[in-house]
Structures are given as C-alpha cells and as structure tokens.
C-alpha cells in the first residue's frame, strides 16, 4: 500500500464529481445570458458571471447532511462607479432577475441579502447560487501596493447594503485571489494536467482545470471538512478564506497529500502576524484587506480559530499514520478524542498524580457532563457535552446530570497534564468533594490556567459505593 493511499481514498470520498463543476458553470452561465439578453436594461453594461470561493479554487467538498452546494459568483458589469451608485446597481440586477419568472420564484430572500442575490434551486442539484453585483476597480490601486498586474487587473468594487450611504465602495479581488491560489501549486498542476492528457490520449488544452487535483487543494479540503465536523452550524467557525490563504502561503510544492499534511500544517501559523497590536491575515492580492478583521470585537471567533488550529495539527498528524481509510476517516469524523474510545488518550491520564477512587464500582449509572464558559458580560455560554479546546484564562462551569435520586455525595476529579503545570508544581489528580457549588454539588467551577490536555470526571457516591460516574471530558488548553 502506498503511504498516501488512506488519505487519498478519504479525499476521493470528499471530492465533488466533475459534473458538479460543469453544472455550476451551466447555472451561472444561464443567469449571465439572461442578464445580457436582448431587451435587458443591463445589456449595455455587458454583464458576465464568474465563480469565486471554493468553486473557483477547486476546494469544494461534498456538503454535510442535507446542506446545499454554495456556489459563490461575481456578476461583473462594465460601468464606471462615478455614474452609478451601489444601491442602483444592486437594484438593477435584482430587477432583471425578477423579470424571469423562474428566477423570481427562486430568489431567497426575495429582497436580496446584504451583498448578494441568492437563487435557490429546488431540484435535485442542491445548489444555491449567490450573485454579487460588482464593477471593475482601478488596477493601479493594487499595483502601487506591489500586487502583480496579472492579479491586480481583476480588482472589483461590489455592493453591500450596509455601505450604501458611503462614498467609497467595498473593494475585493476574488478572481485575482483564485489565480494567486492556483499559482502556488502551478508546478504540480501542470505536471498532473500533462499526465491526465497523456492518459486520455488528448491535448493539455482538452483537460479542464476543475478536473486536475493538486495536494494544495486536497489539503484545504481536508482542513475544511475537519472544521465543518467540529463546528457544524456555528457562525463563528474558522473562515474558509483564512484556511485557504494560510495553506497556500505555507505550501512549498509538496508532491503528495501526506507530504502536504506533514509539512504544511505545522507552518499554517507562520502567516498570522500582528500589526499595531492587531492580528492580521493579509489578502495576498489586496494587501490592505485583513481576512482576520472579523476577529476584532469577537474574541470567541479568534479563540475558536486557534483552538481549531491546535486540534487540527494533532488530528491530521494522526491521520497521516492511519493504516487504512477507515482509521483516517474515524480521526476526521471524531471530535476531540474521547477517553472511552482512545487508548492513547487513556494512557495520557494514567499518571502517578491521579488518585485511584476508593469506592466500589458495581452497578454504576451514567452521569452526563455539560461544560459552560463564562461571558465577559456575565452569564454562561454552553460549550456542549463534547471535549473542548480553549485558550488560557477562561472561567468554566461543569454541570452534571444523573437519574440517581439523592441523597448522595458528589466528587470531582481534575487530572491535568503538561509541562506548565508540572513546572509550577500545580499537577492535580485528587478527588474533591463538592459542597457548595450548587445543585447539591452537581456543579463545579474551574478555569483554564495551564496549557495541556486535562481530564474532568464526576463521581456520585453513596456510602462506600460509587453509584454513578461520568465519562471523562477532555479540555485542551492551547
């Protein structure tokens, strides 16, 4: 078995069929034709639509569950910003879409979003198409910042309801970014395209871009799936654009997915810099844009990114050593490894400073733990019942629930690991009887003081017997 076979098989399962790329192109080409058709008020602006985001980068992964394929696109109209306002452009595109009876029914919401008009396809394709109205920007705004002309020429100004009253339009460069991203793996792309052409007995030009897969694209797909499984439905989950940018910057022409995981993932942090006290992930084709700007004013979003990054560094390393695709998939699909299922993690807490419970353990019932994090403004946010990764200096509340009727005593065991606690002489592993934390001792407060991987277990005791016990909850402090 080749060393990259488990990961490659896993990628094959995540991969979107070429027909989906073809279908997406057909969808937005049809919209473009309607906007540009005879009798359209927009025809004089020569509208065209092109993909941005994952479909442009070639990093789409199959949606989880019943989620749709999210096809992001730019609707570019050739008009000068001095002769039209953001609001007028947004309304003009929407009005033309509503003239098409089918598109009018598909608009969701009917009044449009802040930036885009979204068409939701009701058929089996499971697509929704986000159409972002835009006009060309002056490329010299970027070339003076040393952005290469081949990227700068794609700069755009786009519409956003939240900035309709501003003189300045929002700026972006998604097509330039897609070209930059693909150029980071140009050597591998060209090599693989030539190999595909040879195997198909065709010319290189006959091999479409979307059918060629590089290790860079595969790694981004793995990272995005890992993110999606950790933070499904969470609006504060790590942003795809940050994941794609950091990965592409760290990529150094690794020839296969195992090399990409082993060499690139440890370098992901290197392109996160601090400028005047602010964390930056610079847009490589628009240097004044900070992709990490949404971390400002939202500490939780920043913390979740770094907690995810710490998790992914360990999890993908375990995936590289997987013996088969099932083992690699199990690592990817799991949250932080659970004590009950992961022998390696069980061994982590088999330490001398962990006290052995003195009670008998016959007929032990279950205890469920829920973790809460204290807000800066007061009150608590639930982090759920799974293992968690958190930064230092976070106040935590653990709440236990059990079907066992009182009276009983509650004991909490905190087992910490890591060099920081060891150097400080603060290793813990004892059994602490709860007396005043509320709900008869079923609540325990703590905080994340030392980096490392730590274990929390709750015991319900009556007399000389443990009558209920929780599974261990793992808290990683990063």
pLDDT at 63: 87
Q: Residues 56-82: what's their mean pLDDT?
A: 92
pLDDT of residue 383: 86
| Mean pLDDT value across residues 87-111 | 96
Region 368-395 average pLDDT: 86
* pLDDT value, residue 342: 42
205 has a pLDDT exceeding 90:
yes
* pLDDT band of 348, cuts 50, 70, 90: low
Residue pLDDT, tens place only, 252-284: 999 999 999 999 999 999 999 999 989 999 999
Q: What is the pLDDT of residue 83?
A: 94
Structure tokens at 251: 């990529």
All residues at 6 or more sequence positions from 465 whose CB lies less than 8 Å from its CB, including other chains: 359, 360, 361, 362
The phi and psi torsions of 96 (rounded to 5 degrees) equal -70, -40
pLDDT of residue 343 exceeding 50:
no
Q: Is the peptide bond before 407 cis (omega within 30 degrees of 0)?
A: yes
Q: What is the DSSP string of 311-335?
A: HHHHHHHHHHT-SSHHHHHHHHHSS
Out of 162-171, 205-214, 312-321, 435-444, pick the least confident. 435-444
Tell me what the mean pLDDT of segment 297-307 comes to.
83
Average pLDDT (17-34) is 94
Q: Taking the model in full, what pTM does it have?
A: 0.72
Which helix (DSSP H) or strand (DSSP E) does residue 366 occupy?
A: strand 365-374
Q: Average pLDDT in the 396-425 region? A: 90
Beta bridge partner(s), residue 335: none
Give yes or no for residue 163 having a pLDDT over 70.
Answer: yes
CA dihedral of residues 412, 413, 417, 419 (deg, nearest 10): 70
Radius of gyration of the chain (CA): 26
**Does the structure show a pLDDT above 90 at 184?**
yes
| DSSP strands (E only) in 375-433 | 380-384, 388-390, 395-402, 409-415, 431-433
Task: For residues 103-109, give the mean pLDDT.
Answer: 95
Residue with the two structure tokens 């400028």: 275
Task: For 127-158, write each residue's pLDDT tens digit.
Answer: 899 999 999 999 999 999 999 999 999 999 99
- Residue 417, pLDDT score: 82
pLDDT value for 118? 97
Provide mean pLDDT across the span 14-31: 93
Mean pLDDT over 39-68 rounds to 93
- Residue 437 confidence (pLDDT) above 60: no
Predicted local confidence at residue 310, as pLDDT: 82
Range in 55-59, 82-86, 362-366, 407-411 with the lowest mean pLDDT = 362-366
Q: What is the model's pLDDT at position 341? A: 39
Kindly report which listed range (263-272, 382-391, 409-418, 435-444) carries the lowest average pLDDT score.
435-444
């Amino acid at each position: 078995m080749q060393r990259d076979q488990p990961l490659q098989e896993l990628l094959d399962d995540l991969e979107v069929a070429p027909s989906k790329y073809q279908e997406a192109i057909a969808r937005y080409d049809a919209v473009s034709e309607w906007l540009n058709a005879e009798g359209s008020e927009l025809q004089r602006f020569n509208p065209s639509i092109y993909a941005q985001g994952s479909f442009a980068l070639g990093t789409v992964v199959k949606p989880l569950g019943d989620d749709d394929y999210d096809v992001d696109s730019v609707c570019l109209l050739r008009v000068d910003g001095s002769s039209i306002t953001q609001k007028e452009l947004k309304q003009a595109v929407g009005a033309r879409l509503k003239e098409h009876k089918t598109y009018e029914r598909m608009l969701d919401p009917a009044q449009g979003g802040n930036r885009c008009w979204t068409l939701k396809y009701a058929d089996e394709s499971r697509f929704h198409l986000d159409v972002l109205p835009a006009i060309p920007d002056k490329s010299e705004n970027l070339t003076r910042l040393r952005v290469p002309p081949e990227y700068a020429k794609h700069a755009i100004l786009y519409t956003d309801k939240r900035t309709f009253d501003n003189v300045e339009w929002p700026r972006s460069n998604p097509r330039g970014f897609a070209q930059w991203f693909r150029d980071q793996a140009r050597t591998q792309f060209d090599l693989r395209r030539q190999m595909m052409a040879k195997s198909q007995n065709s010319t290189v030009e006959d091999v479409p871009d979307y059918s060629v897969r590089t290790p860079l694209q595969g790694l981004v797909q793995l990272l995005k799936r890992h993110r999606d499984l950790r933070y499904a439905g969470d609006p504060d989950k790590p942003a795809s654009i940050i994941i794609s940018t950091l990965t592409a910057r760290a990529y150094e022409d690794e020839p296969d997915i195992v090399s990409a995981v082993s060499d690139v993932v440890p370098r992901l942090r290197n392109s996160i810099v601090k400028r005047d006290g602010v964390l930056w992930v610079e847009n490589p084709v628009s240097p004044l844009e900070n992709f990490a700007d949404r971390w400002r004013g939202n500490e939780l979003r920043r913390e979740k990114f770094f907690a995810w990054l710490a998790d992914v560094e360990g999890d993908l390393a375990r995936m590289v050593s997987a013996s088969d695709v099932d083992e690699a998939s199990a690592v990817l699909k799991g949250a932080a490894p659970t004590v009950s299922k992961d022998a390696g993690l069980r061994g982590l807490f088999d330490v001398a400073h962990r006290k052995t419970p003195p009670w008998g353990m016959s007929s032990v019932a279950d205890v469920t733990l829920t973790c809460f994090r204290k807000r800066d403004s007061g009150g608590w946010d639930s982090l759920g019942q799974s293992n968690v990764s958190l930064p230092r200096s976070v106040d935590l509340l653990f709440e236990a629930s059990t079907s066992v009727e009182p009276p009983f005593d509650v004991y909490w065991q905190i087992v910490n690991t890591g060099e920081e606690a060891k150097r400080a002489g603060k290793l813990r592993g004892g059994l602490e009887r709860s007396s005043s934390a509320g709900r008869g001792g079923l609540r325990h407060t703590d905080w994340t003081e030392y980096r490392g991987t730590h274990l929390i277990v709750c015991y319900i005791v009556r007399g000389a017997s443990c009558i209920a016990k929780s599974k261990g909850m793992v808290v990683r402090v990063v």
